[in-house]
């Protein structure tokens, strides 16, 4: 703290040095005898990006600074400068690397003269969205920014950077001054409801079709304007806006004022200039300082609530100024704000702490030889005055590049149409419509547009979505639905609209059927500039790289020149992908309707067909159930093919079903399943997966048949599509069938119902009360989640809870199809020819409602008798041994994660010149669940394993896990890594995260790396395929469920 006689001055040499860098300092409108420093907005003269010489000069100066501060080699700087020179000479600009962009953003924050919290500058998270090309994508990325940065209240300083501005061309813009702002409604008498500072933006949004609620705290929509397009308006879903309700630690009446504010300030009307490159769409957030919010609530030109607060404090705001009623009210307002944010566990800083942090930043910067631009008017907190050290600090204000600069409100000069159709979702941009219509005006409108729907699937889920989409679009276009496995990727160049529905297998892999298609895209030889596309990606949020293959398709198709007709959507198999699919397909249909000039009546009809709006279509079957004809009564013959997959599974014979756990393990069960196969037909290697097509339990099927009063359950039927024989989809792949077969093998009657199925169920409820309850549950709200957690009902249990009278053919159509379950193969084909072994943790649990439930596939296998037939197919995995047997390997697999590792040591028995192999295994107790213990000991004795370390979590007072054993053996782990070891981790997703953290810790500690460097080291191991995971996630229905978390590998649903 400064004394009354002290003042902080700018070191002379540093100030001179800063001003000597003329091209890195932006010109302001200050003059020799005229200062504009106290104005709200400075008129900075930013880089002239139309002048290549200026661009090159600023690029060279910035690159020199970047390479110097990052301590990068000078020879690399010279190479980079040459690259930039060539690119600027050719195009007039250049594309910054992510590292250059990221550091530019951070240094620009460091240079920001009006920011008091710059001490955090190096911790900024930078999200690169420069390749985003549509308004919808910009909005989606803004939502992702909101969610990421809010972080549940533990705010992360973040910036998202969209496309750079090109010389002479418009650039992406956000109309909002901040992503989150409260509306200000001008009243006829001139008063304002809401935030007066946002009246201009509110009226602009209303002209674009937005209708607010008219309250004091209505969140404004986001308005995005892309180059050469009309602005588009997007309301922000409530779940993305974290708000803090104000209360006071002393005065209960404060809460009655019903004041609130959003948790995070997201500034969005700033641009970034860096190294001759300019960005005009760079939303950025830090966190609030308390006095910022007190000004928002208290300032006369804002909400002007200080008089109300003073009155409640018993101080007359009409009294003499000497009563200092403003100061008293402001003090308690600040106390309430800090108290409320801290109570809500949302990041905030008081002005004294912020000022102290700035003083530390000031000292650190000058110690580093850097000057600190500072706008005294803004930096000195609006309260505290001379009690703050900043009040006494002499500052000089300039705009040092890289820099953020303010931008005008785009709506101020925009010419709004006289009449605008109101929309709650998005404004149909005139410019976009003109461009799209021009692109297609050569085609006659009486011709059907061509749509190619491609799917990639392992379990059939993506195929079902693709078939639904194809069936719907076939009413308006010529549609083909194809598997990526059989589709020639070269044909993409001739397609008009391509829609991909693709699942992701495990922790980021593409389905095996899409491997060649993916390779073709990666080659980069396709020109898709005349193709429109959209992607729906399916995956599970249990995995780090959620919907990875869908994201790959979306980015790669765009890179090859295709234009997005609809943004990427990602369906989560854990939370339920149907709501996301409906939202995506609704958006797709809206955009295609614009493209094809679909009539409004047809557009509305399409929504009803899709079930996006309520209509009768969702409750009428598109199939009729008819007895099979005599010639088809024996069923269709199996397809003649030597390739076995989900559509053509191999029939294996069960030859072993052995319990691996000891008797002391209680009701838990882990089975070794042996299947007889022809390994010439079912080809696999150690580490691959086996797809198992399970059946529902016979007693569950019988119970359902009795509930439905099906008397002819074993009579063969056919489902005939009402749309004719050329219908694009049927619920079953095998026709004809019996009703018993349908409920046993084809349909999932074990898993609990999704909200969309409950909507159908509600329509046929017998009792009005049940109908209301089901309709409420079908909304998928917290009520549904609570009900699901308590009951987790099978289909028979659902019928018992809610009696309904539903047509059988509609039930067959609406039930989810049985999904394939994948297991890691735990045997080597070289050690066990014509056999395949699985290691299966049997899932059993009791729901909170007291019902005993069973996992589908694990119990199907566990209950199968010797000689039983099991339909299977193999799937290749990258989880395979190194090409050279001499390469050392680290194997980590607790529980049934040991399965593929067992296949590895068996495979090594047939190899020569073996490198070291260290196994880390974990289980509860040696006397309970040390599976394959004798085999492990034998493998070690034979030299197939050179080291074995086992973590028993319950054999001692302190729980020990494989992560702990890795840390204990850190020296050996590092030694093997430095010798080029490959790491293999198999188990549940939570364990895999802990193991990776342990490796990072080991690398950081033993190799002397920083946290950032150790993370980079692990990333490189992953990219080079030296760190491989076979990760699975089991989703038990309830935390209260009486069941252990299973280790059985199931990539889609609970086994």
pLDDT of 123 above 80: yes
pLDDT of 644 above 90: no
CA 391 to chain centre: 45
Residues in a beta bridge with 403: 273
- When the pLDDT of each residue in the chain is averaged and rounded to a whole number, the result is 85
Phi, then psi, of 837 in degrees rounded to 5: -110, 145
The pLDDT-based confidence of 438 (bands split at 50, 70, 90) is: very low
> How high is the pLDDT of residue 345?
85
The tokens for 1043 are 């069941």
- d(Cα 558, Cα 136) in Å, to the nearest integer? 15
pLDDT of 11 above 60: no
How large is the angle between the packed helices 306-313 and 325-343, nearest 10 degrees? 100
**What proportion of the chain, given as a percentage, has pLDDT over 70?**
85
Where residue 432 falls (left for φ over 0; alpha for ψ -120 to 50; beta otherwise) is alpha
The pLDDT-based confidence of 465 (bands split at 50, 70, 90) is: confident
- d(Cα 858, Cα 1050) in Å, to the nearest integer? 10
- d(Cα 937, Cα 490) in Å, to the nearest integer? 53
292 catalytic? Reply is yes
- Average pLDDT in the 103-110 region? 94
* Ranges 314-318, 505-509, 1026-1030: which has the least confidence: 505-509
Distant-in-sequence, close-in-space partners of 694: CB < 8 Å, separation ≥ 6: 818, 821, 856, 857, 860, 861
Tokens 């069923």 found at: 635
Q: pLDDT tens, 278-333?
A: 999 999 999 999 999 999 999 999 999 999 999 999 999 888 888 899 999 999 99
The pLDDT-based confidence of 31 (bands split at 50, 70, 90) is: low
982-988 and 1027-1032: which strand pairing?
parallel
Tokens 């890691």 found at: 824
Q: pLDDT tens, 228-269?
A: 999 999 999 988 999 999 999 999 999 999 999 999 999 999
Phi, then psi, of 1015 in degrees rounded to 5: -65, -40
The pLDDT-based confidence of 731 (bands split at 50, 70, 90) is: low
17 catalytic? Reply is no
The tokens for 181 are 């702002």
Buried b (16+ CB within 10 A) or exposed e, 69-81: eeeeeeeebeebb
Distant-in-sequence, close-in-space partners of 900: CB < 8 Å, separation ≥ 6: 686, 687, 824, 825, 826, 879, 893, 984, 986, 1030
- d(Cα 209, Cα 221) in Å, to the nearest integer? 11
**Helix ranges (DSSP H) in 70-198:** 74-91, 98-111, 135-150
Phi, then psi, of 207 in degrees rounded to 5: -65, -25
- d(Cα 97, Cα 59) in Å, to the nearest integer? 12
Say which of 118, 432, 716, 875 is annotated catalytic. Answer: 118
Q: Exposed, middle or buried: residue 750 (CB in 10 Å: 0-12, 13-18, 19+)?
A: buried
Q: Exposed, middle or buried: residue 130 (CB in 10 Å: 0-12, 13-18, 19+)?
A: middle
Q: pLDDT tens, 361-401?
A: 888 888 888 989 988 888 888 887 888 888 888 888 888 89
- Average pLDDT in the 657-672 region? 86
pLDDT of 7 above 80: no
The tokens for 924 are 């509860």
> How high is the pLDDT of residue 859?
94
- Average pLDDT in the 769-786 region? 87
- d(Cα 284, Cα 158) in Å, to the nearest integer? 6
The tokens for 534 are 């959209």
pLDDT of 1047 above 70: no
Q: Could you write out the DSSP letters of every residue in 738-792?
A: EHHHIIIIIB--SSPPPHHHHHHHHHTBSSHHHHHHHHHHTT-SHHHHHHHHHH-
The tokens for 720 are 């005939």
- Average pLDDT in the 169-173 region? 90
For residue 769, what are the CA distances in angstroms to 80, 386, 762, 802? 71, 67, 10, 10
Length of the chain: 1055
Phi, then psi, of 503 in degrees rounded to 5: -95, 165
* Ranges 686-695, 922-931, 950-959, 1046-1055: which has the least confidence: 1046-1055
- Average pLDDT in the 498-521 region? 85
- d(Cα 317, Cα 309) in Å, to the nearest integer? 9
Tokens 């910036």 found at: 159
- Average pLDDT in the 978-987 region? 96
Q: pLDDT tens, 37-82?
A: 666 666 555 668 889 999 999 999 999 999 999 999 999 999 999 9
- d(Cα 552, Cα 556) in Å, to the nearest integer? 6
Phi, then psi, of 692 in degrees rounded to 5: -115, 130
Say which of 100, 110, 115, 596 is annotated catalytic. Answer: 115
> How high is the pLDDT of residue 319?
85
User: Which DSSP symbol is given to 493?
Assistant: G
Count of Cβ atoms closer than 10 Å to residue 743 Cβ? 29
266-267 and 284-285: which strand pairing?
antiparallel
pLDDT of 670 above 60: yes
**Closest of 423, 1054, 547 to residue 788, by C-alpha:** 1054
Buried b (16+ CB within 10 A) or exposed e, 449-460: bebbbbbbbbbb
**What kind and span of H or E run contains 293?**
helix 290-298
- d(Cα 1030, Cα 992) in Å, to the nearest integer? 9
Decide: 987 and 839 in contact? Cβ < 8 Å. Answer: no
759 catalytic? Reply is no
Tokens 């059985």 found at: 1048
Decide: 717 and 627 in contact? Cβ < 8 Å. Answer: yes
Binding residue per annotation — 1055?
Answer: no
* Ranges 66-70, 709-713, 856-860: which has the least confidence: 709-713
Distant-in-sequence, close-in-space partners of 698: CB < 8 Å, separation ≥ 6: 744
- Average pLDDT in the 836-859 region? 92
> How high is the pLDDT of residue 601?
59
Query: What domains does the chain contain, in order, with CATH numbers?
Result: 1-133+155-167+266-283+349-407 (3.90.340.10), 181-263+290-336+408-440 (3.90.1230.10), 443-574 (3.40.50.360), 822-1032 (3.40.50.80)
> How high is the pLDDT of residue 585?
84
- d(Cα 779, Cα 755) in Å, to the nearest integer? 6
pLDDT of 590 above 90: no
> How high is the pLDDT of residue 385?
80
115 catalytic? Reply is yes
- Average pLDDT in the 350-356 region? 88
**Closest of 507, 519, 500, 517 to residue 569, by C-alpha:** 500
What's the CA angle centered on 772, arms 768 and 778, to 5 degrees? Answer: 140
Decide: 573 and 605 in contact? Cβ < 8 Å. Answer: no
């Amino acid at each position: 703290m400064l004394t009354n006689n002290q003042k902080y001055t700018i070191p002379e040499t540093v100030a001179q040095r800063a001003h000597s860098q003329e091209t890195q300092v932006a010109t302001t409108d200050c003059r020799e005898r005229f200062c504009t420093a106290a104005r709200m907005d400075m008129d900075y003269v930013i880089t002239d990006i139309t002048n290549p010489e200026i661009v090159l000069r600023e690029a060279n100066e910035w690159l020199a600074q970047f390479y110097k501060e990052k301590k990068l080699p000078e020879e690399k700087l010279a190479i980079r400068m040459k690259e930039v020179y060539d690119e600027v000479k050719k195009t007039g600009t250049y594309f910054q690397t992510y590292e250059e962009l990221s550091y530019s953003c951070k240094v620009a924050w460091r240079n920001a003269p009006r920011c008091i919290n710059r001490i955090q500058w190096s911790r900024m998270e930078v999200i690169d969205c420069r390749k985003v090309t549509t308004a919808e994508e910009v909005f989606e990325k803004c939502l992702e920014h909101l969610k990421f940065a809010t972080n549940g209240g533990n705010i992360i300083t973040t910036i998202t950077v969209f496309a750079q501005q090109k010389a002479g061309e418009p650039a992406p813009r956000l109309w909002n001054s901040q992503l989150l702002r409260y509306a200000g409604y001008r009243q006829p008498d001139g008063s304002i409801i809401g935030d007066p500072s946002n009246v201009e933006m509110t009226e602009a949004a209303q002209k674009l079709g937005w209708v607010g609620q008219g309250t004091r705290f209505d969140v404004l929509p986001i308005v995005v304007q892309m180059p050469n397009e009309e602005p588009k308006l997007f309301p922000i879903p409530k779940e993305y806006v974290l708000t803090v309700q104000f209360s006071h630690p002393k005065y209960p009446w404060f809460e009655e004022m019903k004041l609130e504010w959003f948790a995070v300030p997201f500034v969005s009307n700033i641009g970034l200039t860096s190294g001759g490159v300019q960005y005009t769409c760079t939303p950025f957030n830090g966190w609030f300082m308390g006095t910022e919010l007190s000004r928002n609530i208290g300032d006369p030109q804002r909400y002007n609530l200080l008089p109300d607060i003073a009155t409640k404090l018993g101080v007359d705001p009409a009294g003499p100024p000497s009563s200092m009623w403003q100061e008293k009210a402001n003090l308690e307002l600040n106390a309430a704000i800090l108290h409320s944010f801290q109570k809500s566990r949302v990041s905030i800083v008081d002005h004294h702490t912020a000022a102290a942090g700035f003083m530390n930043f000031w000292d650190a910067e000058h110690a580093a030889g850097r000057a600190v631009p500072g706008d005294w008017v803004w930096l000195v907190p609006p309260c505290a005055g001379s009690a703050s050290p900043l009040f006494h600090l002499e500052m000089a204000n300039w705009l040092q590049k890289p820099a953020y600069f303010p931008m005008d409100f785009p709506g101020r000069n925009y010419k709004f149409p006289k009449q605008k159709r109101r929309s709650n979702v998005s404004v149909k941009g005139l410019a976009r419509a003109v461009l799209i219509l021009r692109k297609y005006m050569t085609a006659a409108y009486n011709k059907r547009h061509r749509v190619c729907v491609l799917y990639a699937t392992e379990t059939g889920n993506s195929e079902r979505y693709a078939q639904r989409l194809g069936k719907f679009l076939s009413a308006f276009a010529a549609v083909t639905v194809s598997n990526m496995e059989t589709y020639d990727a070269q044909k993409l160049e001739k397609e008009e609209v391509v829609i991909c529905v693709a699942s992701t297998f495990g922790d980021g892999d593409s389905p095996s059927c899409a491997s060649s298609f993916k390779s073709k895209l990666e080659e980069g030889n396709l020109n898709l500039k005349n193709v429109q596309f959209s992607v729906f990606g399916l995956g599970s949020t249990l995995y780090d790289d959620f919907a990875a293959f869908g994201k790959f398709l979306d980015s790669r198709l765009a890179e090859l020149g295709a234009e997005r007709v609809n943004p990427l959507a990602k369906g989560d198999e854990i939370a339920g992908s149907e709501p996301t699919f409906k939202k995506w397909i609704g958006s797709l249909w809206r955009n295609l309707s614009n493209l094809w000039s679909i009539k409004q009546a047809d557009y509305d009809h399409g929504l009803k067909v899709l079930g996006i709006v309520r209509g009768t279509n969702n409750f009428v079957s598109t199939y009729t159930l008819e007895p099979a004809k005599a010639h088809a009564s024996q069923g269709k013959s199996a397809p003649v093919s030597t390739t076995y997959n989900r559509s053509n599974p191999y029939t294996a014979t069960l030859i072993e079903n052995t319990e691996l756990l000891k008797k002391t393990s209680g009701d838990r069960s882990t089975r070794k399943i042996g299947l007889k196969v022809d390994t010439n037909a079912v080809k696999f290697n150690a580490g691959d997966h086996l797809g198992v097509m399970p059946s529902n339990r016979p007693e569950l099927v019988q119970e359902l048949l009795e509930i439905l009063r099906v008397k002819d359950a074993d009579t063969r039927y056919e489902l005939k599509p009402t749309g004719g024989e050329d219908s694009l989809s049927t619920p079953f792949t095998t026709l004809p069938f019996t009703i018993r077969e349908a409920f046993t093998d084809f349909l999932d009657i074990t898993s609990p119902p999704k909200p969309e199925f409950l909507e159908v169920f509600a329509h046929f409820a017998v009792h009005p009360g049940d109908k209301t309850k089901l309709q409420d549950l079908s909304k998928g709200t917290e009520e549904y989640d609570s009900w699901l957690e308590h009951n987790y009902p099978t289909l028979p249990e659902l019928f018992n809870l809610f009696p309904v009278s539903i047509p059988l053919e509609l039930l067959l159509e609406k039930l989810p199809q049985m999904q394939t379950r994948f297991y890691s193969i735990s045997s080597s084909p070289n050690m066990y020819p014509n056999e395949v072994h699985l290691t299966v943790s049997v899932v059993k649990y009791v729901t909170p409602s007291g019902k005993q439930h069973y996992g589908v596939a694990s119990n199907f296998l566990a209950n199968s008798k010797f000689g039983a037939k099991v339909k299977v197919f193999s799937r290749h995995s990258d989880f395979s041994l190194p090409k050279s047997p001499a390469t050392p390997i680290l194997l980590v697999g607790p529980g049934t994660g040991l399965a593929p590792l067992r296949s590895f040591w068996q495979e090594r028995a047939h190899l020569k010149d073996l490198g070291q192999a260290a196994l880390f295994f974990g289980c509860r107790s040696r006397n309970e669940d040390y599976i394959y213990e004798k085999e492990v000991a034998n493998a070690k004795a034979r030299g197939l394993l050179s080291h074995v370390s086992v973590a028993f979590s319950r054999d001692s007072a302190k729980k020990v896990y494989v992560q702990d054993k890795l840390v204990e053996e850190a020296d050996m782990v590092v030694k093997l890594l430095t010798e080029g070891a490959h790491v293999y981790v198999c188990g549940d997703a939570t364990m895999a995260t802990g193991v990776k953290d342990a490796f990072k810790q080991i690398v950081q500690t033993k190799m002397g790396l920083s946290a950032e460097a150790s993370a980079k080291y692990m990333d490189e191991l992953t990219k080079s395929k030296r760190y491989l995971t076979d990760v699975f996630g089991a989703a038990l229905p309830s935390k209260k469920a009486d069941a252990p978390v299973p280790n059985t590998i199931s990539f889609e649903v609970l086994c």
